[in-house]
Amino acid sequence: MKRNKSLLLSTPYILWMVIFTLVPLGVVLYYALTDVETGAFTVDNMSKLVRYLPAFGRSILYSLISAVICLLIGYPVAYYMTQCSPTTQRFLYMLVMLPMCMSFLLRTLAWVGLLQDTGIINNILEAIGLPRLPLIRTPAAVILGMVYNYLPYMILPLYAIIVKIDPRLIEAAEDLGCNSTKVFSKVILPLSMPGILSGMTMVFVPAVSTFYISNKLGSTETVLIGDIVERLFKQGDNPNMGAALSLLLMVLVFVCTGIINRFGGDEEGAVIV
Tell me whether residue 12 or residue 131 sits nearer to other proteins (CB atom): 12
Contact assessment for residue 66 and residue 139, using Cβ atoms and an 8 Å cutoff: no
DSSP 8-class letter at 37: T
Residue 177 touching other proteins (CB under 8 A): no
Q: What SS3 state is found at 170?
A: helix
By CB under 8 A, tell whether 76 contacts other proteins: yes
> Is 164 one of the binding residues for other proteins (CB under 8 A)?
no
Q: Which is nearer to other proteins, 222 or 257 (CB)?
A: 257
Q: In the chain, how long is the greatest CA-to-CA distance? A: 79
Stretch that binds other proteins, among 47-55, 72-80, 125-133, 161-169 (CB under 8 A): 72-80
Q: Candidates 48, 51, 107, 164: give the one binding other proteins (CB under 8 A).
A: 107
Indicate the burial class of 152 (C-beta count within 10 angstroms; 0-12, 13-18, 19 or more): buried
CB-based contacts of 199, cutoff 8 Å, min separation 6: 67, 70, 71, 74, 153, 154, 155, 156, 157, 158
Residues touching other proteins: how many (CB under 8 A)? 88
- Span near other proteins by CB under 8 A; candidates 128-136, 167-175, 189-197, 240-248: 240-248
Residue 189 CA to residue 178 CA, distance in Å, equals 14
Q: Which is nearer to other proteins, 99 or 134 (CB)?
A: 99
Among 67, 96, 142, 143, binds other proteins (CB under 8 A): 96
Asked if 123 touches other proteins (CB under 8 A), the answer is yes
Span of 3-11, 49-57, 164-172, 189-197 interacting with other proteins by CB under 8 A: 3-11
Question: Is 60 an interacting residue with respect to other proteins (CB under 8 A)?
Answer: no
Q: Which of 33, 142, 162, 208 forms a contact with other proteins (CB under 8 A)?
A: 208
Angstrom distance (rounded) from CA 242 to CA 28: 9
Of 218, 195, 75, which Cα lies nearest the Cα of 146?
218
Q: Which is nearer to other proteins, 80 or 263 (CB)?
A: 80
Backbone angles phi, psi at 41, to 5 degrees: -65, 135
Q: Which of residues 250-269 bind other proteins (CB under 8 A)?
A: 250, 253-254, 257
Helix (H) or strand (E) holding 39, with range, is none
Please check whether residue 70 is in contact with residue 199, taking contact to mean a CB–CB distance below 8 angstroms.
yes
- 194 contacts other proteins (rule: CB under 8 A): no
